Amino acid sequence: MKYRTIDINSWKINLAVIAIGTVISWIIGLQTDLHPSSGHGGFIPLVFPPLLGIFIILIYLISRIFIRKYNWIITLIGIIYLMYFSIDFYIKNDI
């Protein structure tokens, strides 16, 4: 029986993981219960995760030009930062 291995350096897998992490981070940001007095600052948890996800994708694609082997580290760091950002807003409810 042959087992199929997953290549963590594959650009398809890394882009899919970044997209999934961005959506999860955005959903957590949507669940944040902010004070009514936050005004326009209340949009930060809603807008920042998709913008940060696009920025991480751009960094990943640029890094693929120069580095071929360890690009999954950029994906991992980006996902950790996205989750940290959204969970921090969810727990603190502060802008």
- The reported pLDDT for the residue numbered 1 is 67
- The reported pLDDT for the residue numbered 18 is 95
On the question of pLDDT at 78 being above 60, the answer is yes
**What are the tens digits of pLDDT across the range 14-63?**
999 999 999 999 998 888 877 766 676 777 878 889 999 999 999 999 99
Contacts of 71 (CB under 8 A, 6+ apart): 9, 11, 14, 60, 63, 64
Cα separation values, 3 from 6, 16, 24, Å: 10, 22, 30
- The reported pLDDT for the residue numbered 94 is 60
